[in-house]
């Protein structure tokens, strides 16, 4: 057996967090009291009514067999009803909704349906790494679209060269955004839909953080609420962050019927769907009382105010988010993102993520999460305020 890795794996960029992981291990081995603000994984539990539905449905033998490929009709209807009530978007559950094993799965598989070797895919920089990796795995070419602070971390569509726009097959977007926490306005989505129609480009919108926001006035839009968006767009919605269900693997894709069908065709060939008891729990989440989501927002709002308010008062250039549980802190002068993250770990025992891990345009920032109790965030602020930077 040669055991030689396939070219597609050997071509992956080097793992940028190795140095941070090493420093983290070193600090832990010395018994350091680490405050881990590195990982975007809610520390809050899944609401009890959703857990109870999993327990009930898990005991029902009817759910023990292979699920249907597209996902249960009831879950697709619940997803469509959610889009109708949340954004006034009408979706046909039979043709325009597809259940996913978490949105990462759908995002990674989507290019297999629409990207041929050599096709060009526009990917945000910084951005969730799966957009680029999914493209590379099927031989597509990645064209990075910079997200800059001066543009509110939105892509400047006018700056995309005409030749690139002509060649592009897909553009990935993600608002509310990881790692910048930026949100998109409906008018940006309108412009994007018009641009995509003009250049015949598929818009793949990752809306994983749609419901993690702090004030009703800032509730993020869906691109699908733009008239005509379903001609060009598919959106990925995840239950992971809305209901603290990251471990459950429950999400769906929705929008243009041909795009949904293509992704479904890939999935039919590589997986066998989501455990039906988890799908029942997802129905309970989407169709049940949304009070648990309102409570989650309050918790994150308090945490945001503690962390961002505290860091700003301590003199840091911190970007206060209106959505997501991320915040970017600008690196002090003369330090790179990686150096700042290493010093946070070494001197303050705080784990943050150098935003360069999401692309070169992340240089100048470290991403901190709100996935820790307010008291720990307050402690993190005190420790950072004491650093001699
Ligand atoms: C921007 C973004 N999209 C998608 C995902 C994947 O979420 P899931 O696979 O849990 O639905 C994540 C996870 O962190 C993310 O940050």
Ligand 1 atom closest to Cα of 127?
A: 1
pLDDT of residue 262: 98
pLDDT tens figures, 232-246: 999 999 999 999 999
pLDDT tens figures, 306-343: 999 999 999 999 999 999 999 999 999 999 999 999 99
Task: Choose the residue to mutate in 101, 178, 239 for probing ligand 1, maximizing ligand atoms within 8 Å of C-beta.
Answer: 178
Pocket of ligand 1 (CB under 6 A): 40, 102-104, 128, 174, 178, 206, 208, 238, 240, 246, 251
Coil, helix or strand at residue 374: helix
Q: Which residue has the tokens 């539990």?
A: 45
Q: Which residues pair with 330 in a beta bridge?
A: 365
Cα 239 to ligand 1 centroid, rounded to whole Å: 10
Cα 162 to ligand 1 centroid, rounded to whole Å: 31
Whether the pLDDT of residue 20 is over 90: the answer is no
- Minimal CA–CA distance to 100: which of 296, 255, 231? 255
Residue 76: which residues within 8 A CB-CB, separation 6 or more?
70, 93, 94, 97, 98, 99, 252
pLDDT tens figures, 146-155: 999 999 999 9
- With bands split at pLDDT 50, 70 and 90, how would you rate the model's confidence at 12? confident
Task: Choose the residue to mutate in 106, 208, 211, 241 for probing ligand 1, maximizing ligand atoms within 8 Å of C-beta.
Answer: 208
pLDDT of residue 16: 72
Cα 103 to ligand 1 centroid, rounded to whole Å: 6
Average pLDDT value for residue range 9-26: 84
Whether the pLDDT of residue 105 is over 90: the answer is yes
Average pLDDT value for residue range 11-29: 84
Total residue count of the chain as it appears in this document: 389
Cα 385 to ligand 1 centroid, rounded to whole Å: 31
Inter-residue contact 316 to 298 (CB < 8 Å): no
Average predicted confidence (pLDDT) for the chain: 96
């Amino acid at each position: 057996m040669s055991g030689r890795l396939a070219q597609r794996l050997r071509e992956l960029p080097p793992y940028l967090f190795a140095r941070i992981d090493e420093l983290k291990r070193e600090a832990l081995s010395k018994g350091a009291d680490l405050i881990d603000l590195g990982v975007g994984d809610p520390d809050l539990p899944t609401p009890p009514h959703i857990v109870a539905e999993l327990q009930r449905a898990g005991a029902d033998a009817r759910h023990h067999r292979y699920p249907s490929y597209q996902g249960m009709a009831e879950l697709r209807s619940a997803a469509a009803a959610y889009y109708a009530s949340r954004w006034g978007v009408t979706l046909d559950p039979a043709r325009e909704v597809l259940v996913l094993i978490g949105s990462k799965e759908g995002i990674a598989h989507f290019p297999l349906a629409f990207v041929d070797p050599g096709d060009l895919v526009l990917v945000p920089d910084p951005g969730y790494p799966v957009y680029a990796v999914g493209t590379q795995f099927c031989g597509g070419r990645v064209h990075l679209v910079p997200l800059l602070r001066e543009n509110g971390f939105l892509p400047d569509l006018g700056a995309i060269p005409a030749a690139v726009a002509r060649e592009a097959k897909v553009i990935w977007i993600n608002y509310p955004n990881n790692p910048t926490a930026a949100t998109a306005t409906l008018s940006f989505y309108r412009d994007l839909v018009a641009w995509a129609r003009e250049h015949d480009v598929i818009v793949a919108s990752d809306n994983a953080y749609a419901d993690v926001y702090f004030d009703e006035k800032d509730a993020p839009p869906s691109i699908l609420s733009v008239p005509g968006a379903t001609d060009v767009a598919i959106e990925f919605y995840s239950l992971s962050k809305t209901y603290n269900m990251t471990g459950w693997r429950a999400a769906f894709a929705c929008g243009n019927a041909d795009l949904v069908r293509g992704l479904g065709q890939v999935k039919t060939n590589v997986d066998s769907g989501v455990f039906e008891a988890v799908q029942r729990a997802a129905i309970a989440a989407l169709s049940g009382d949304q009070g648990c989501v309102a409570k989650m927002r309050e918790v994150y709002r308090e945490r945001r105010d503690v962390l961002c308010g505290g860091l700003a008062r301590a003199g840091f250039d911190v970007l206060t988010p209106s959505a997501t549980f991320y915040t970017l802190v600008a690196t002090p002068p003369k330090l790179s993102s990686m150096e700042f993250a290493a010093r946070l770990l070494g001197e303050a025992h705080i784990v943050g993520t150098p935003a360069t891990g999401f692309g070169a345009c992340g240089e100048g920032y470290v991403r901190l999460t709100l996935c820790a109790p307010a008291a720990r965030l307050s402690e993190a602020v005190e420790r950072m305020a004491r650093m001699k930077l």
